[in-house]
């Protein structure tokens, strides 16, 4: 059975756009680069040709990977109204009791996780600890030998 990729609608749409660009732009450019490199002569000593072929292989690999993600995507259903508990796809504001600071994260699938955008994977220790919790509840986040406590301050979509 193929691996299921949990995505928001936005994440799915971004993957489809990326796949389209890889197929209709990057793949064609890579072929043109190989064609130009062939014109340099002897392929056995043509570094430009080797680099172009390597680049094409990377593009093809990325196409296969993203196509599998798109084909096996499970899109997180949008929720209407107020959320009662932390679920996949929601934004959650937490208070880190150890660091004494507030943070806000969006819980997404592993494919969309980006710490720069405050999007954490549903498989991360923090998400695992807070999924299903309600506003006002606390959760213990386990990090191997260490752990810390967080409190749910707000949940939104």
CATH number at residue 27: 1.10.287.180
- Domain range for residue 47? 5-75
Q: Give the tens place of pLDDT for each residue, 10-19.
A: 899 999 999 9
Has residue 36 been placed in a domain?
Answer: yes
Are residues 144 and 97 both part of a single domain? yes
Residues 61, 106 share a domain: no
Length of the chain: 157
Q: Is 84 domain-assigned?
A: no
User: 107 and 48: one domain?
Assistant: no
Residue-level pLDDT at 79: 64
Please tell me whether residues 104 and 70 are part of one structural domain: no
Number of domains forming the structure of the chain:
2
* CB contact set of 129 (below 8 Å; sequence gap of 6+): 139, 140, 141, 142, 150
pTM of structure: 0.75
Residue 148 counted as domain residue: yes
pLDDT above 90 covers a percentage of the chain that reads 70
Report pLDDT digits (tens) over 60-76.
999 999 999 999 999 98
């Amino acid at each position: 059975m193929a691996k299921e990729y949990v995505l928001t609608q936005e994440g799915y749409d971004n993957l489809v756009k990326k796949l389209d660009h890889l197929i209709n732009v990057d793949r064609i450019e890579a072929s043109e680069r190989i064609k130009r490199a062939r014109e340099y002569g002897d392929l056995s000593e043509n570094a430009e040709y080797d680099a172009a072929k390597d680049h094409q292989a990377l593009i093809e690999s990325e196409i296969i990977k993203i196509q599998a993600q798109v084909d096996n995507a499970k899109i997180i259903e949008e929720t209407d109204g107020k959320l009662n508990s932390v679920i996949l796809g929601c934004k959650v504001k937490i208070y880190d009791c150890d660091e004494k600071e507030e943070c806000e994260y969006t819980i997404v699938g592993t494919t969309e996780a980006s710490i720069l955008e405050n999007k954490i994977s549903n498989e991360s220790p923090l998400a695992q600890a807070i999924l299903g919790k309600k506003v006002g509840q606390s959760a213990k986040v386990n990090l191997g030998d260490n752990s810390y406590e967080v409190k749910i301050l707000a949940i939104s979509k």
